[in-house]
Structure formats: structure tokens, C-alpha cells
Structure 1
């Protein structure tokens, strides 16, 4: 394998760490999570996002190396590298989504689905809290139904403890679905907070 090929592989690995997949965060974050490595290192008041740092080092190294190696035989290598990087970053969400539907086509457990773009608007109504939540479900496999409820942390709602009731959702196999659904809850301390909450997580139970 030529030295130029190694530079292109280095560039591709850097792009892979920085590119976003269909769930809205970087592939590098997913790789670090899968390996059990924290993607963010905190030192005092300064945080270091390791996939970004490593990704940029690989991109700069691979880009400059490939440009210098191929320029004598391919004068247009700079524009081709730039165009290739842009196309890679633009297509990565669509490619990752397609791969997940393909790889998990016959799956039926909790790992056969993902949730993204999740947010809730919390409001009061007749001494109850209502969370109007919206999110996107990727049902890669063959799930039919799930039981779901939001888990809103103390920090999200002014340090209240909220116990929301569950809802049952019917799912269509192998489909991406945009869901909007209300949840009812009562804060244990009797106080209320209102407003939007982003990046909400959910407790999910698969109905078999």
C-alpha cells in the first residue's frame, strides 16, 4: 500500500470521528461510548472533547499528507479532497441510518430501536403536570409495541422530583416515526416548573 493511501485512510478516520450520524451526534461519540471510554475529559473548568481533538489531528495530518503526496501527479487533488470531505460529512447521516435498518432488520429487542430529536414542553393543568413530548423513533427491526415514559431529571425542572405515568405506543416495523404524545405527572414537593426541556431521555419497556 502506498504512502498516499495511508494518508487517505488517516483522513477518512478523522472524518468518521467528526461526522454526525442520523441520531444527531457524532459517530466518534458513539465509538467512544461503545468502547466504554468517556468522550469528554474535564480538567478544572476546561473540558476536552476527545473525538473532536483526535478527529481534527487525523484530518489535518491526512489532508496535508495526501495533498503533498498526490499533487505532483494530480494538480487538482486539493479541490478533490475538499469536495470529498464535504460529501462524506453530508452523506454520513443517511448512510448510518440505512446501515442500522439493514443490520437490525430482524431484531426485536430494546436494542432494535433508537430515539432522537426528543423534547418536552412542561405545563400545569388542574394540579397536574403535563409534558407534551415529541421525538423521532427509529424502529429498525420488528417491534410492535413499547411502554414509555419520560425521565426528567431534577436539574431539568428546577430540582423537582416528577413521576410521570406511562403510555403505550404501537410501532410499525422497519419505520422511522415522528411521535407527539402527552404524559401526566405530579411533583412530590407540590411545586411546579413550566417551559421547554430538550434532550429528554425515556424509560422504555418492550411488550413481547
Structure 2
């Protein structure tokens, strides 16, 4: 991967040609935040969104199992039966027990394509709880099915690169790339100074 995004101890690698956006409608702090990564290379705009989110939470020891047990029901509730979970599994991510879900969703309108014909989307999600930071960390890929199949390895590598409790000198660090919306005044000042 060409670049690394880091904020408040949470980080993720991403390829060249991708845009990093701090979601302006969500809180962006050390306690919780959402960052969106979009492939902006010609021919790929609108085909994929990867989100990295974190939230401070106390959880039970069987958090991953409960997540995996309830994920299909939650997807069905949110997606009105247009989503099918293809696989659920226990994995290790960043040294933490994690859950990994692969799903297929049918959509006629979506954040990736606001207008147009029905599309098939693949969703790949990794979630875990970090005892050291006390946060639930979640990485989610939502991509058109053809894009997902062609770029599966890169998308998986992005999710596998998620880290928590990284030590950094500032609350926001993006190596190259570009941030559309900064998360704090201090980060804005740092970005303007570059």
C-alpha cells in the first residue's frame, strides 16, 4: 500500500489514487469517528467505499460471537431482506479476536450510485474490540460486485492493515493522499502548514 492514514491511534493503509474523507456528519474524536476511503482513479469512481470506524465501548467477553450470531439479522433489518450473508468467521486482526463477514446485497440506489439500474454489491467487514484502547474497531468494504472480484486482494489488504492504539505525534496524520475534511482545528493548522 502506498499510504497510511492515522487518527487518534487508529490507522489503515490505502492505495495511491484513493481519497480520504472524514465524514462531516459524524463525530471525529479519540472516542469515536468514521473515515471513508474512495477509489478516485479514472474508471473506478463510485465503485467502492471503504470505511474505518471506532467507538469507545465496554463489551462482554463473547463480543465477537454475539456479533457474528446477530449480523445476518441486523443486515436483513437494515437492508429489508435485500442482503444475504455469504460467510461469517472468527479471525485474528491486529492481535485481537475478530469477526469477519462477507455479504451480498442487491440495491437499486446506493451511496455508490445514486441513480441508475439495479446493482449487486459485495460487503466485507471486520470488527473487533481492543481491550487496550477500549474501542470497537470496524472496517467495512462496500463495492460493486465486479470491482470487488477484480480488487479483492487490495481490499482485503486494506482491512488487514487496520491498527488500533498506534502511537503518533498528532491527532491526524495522512501521508500524501489528501483529506477533504479535517477532524480538528489542530489538524487543520497542521494540514495548512504543509
Q: TM-score, normalised by structure 1?
A: 0.24
Larger strand fraction of residues:
2
**Bigger relative contact order, structure 1 or 2 (CA pairs below 8 A, ≥6 apart):** 2
Bigger radius of gyration among the two: 1
Larger helix fraction of residues:
1
Q: TM-score, normalised by structure 2?
A: 0.26
